Amino acid sequence: MIIAYFKKWTVMRWIRLGLGVLLLFQALDSELWILMIPVLYLFLQAFFNFGCKNDSCTWR
């Protein structure tokens, strides 16, 4: 079930997740807790796939 969920992901969703993870480590390392706001936004975008209206982020 979980594997099927991730198989439907586009490249853009993986990029958002990767940027979120990198920014998370940077925020924790530098103790800049304000960076958690964009981290949360990127994670929400990756997991719920909002921000790409009508699948405009898919590669053709």
Task: Return the higher-pLDDT residue of 12 and 6.
Answer: 12
pLDDT per residue as tens digits for the range 28-60:
999 999 999 999 999 998 888 887 666 666 665
pTM: 0.75
What is the spatial distance between Cα 60 and Cα 31, in angstroms, rounded to a whole number? 40
Averaged over 16-27, what is the pLDDT? 94
Q: CB atoms < 10 A from the CB of 3, how many?
A: 6
Residue 4 to residues 7, 8, 27, 31, 39, Cα–Cα distance (Å): 5, 7, 31, 36, 25
Would you list the domain boundaries of the chain? Answer: 2-49
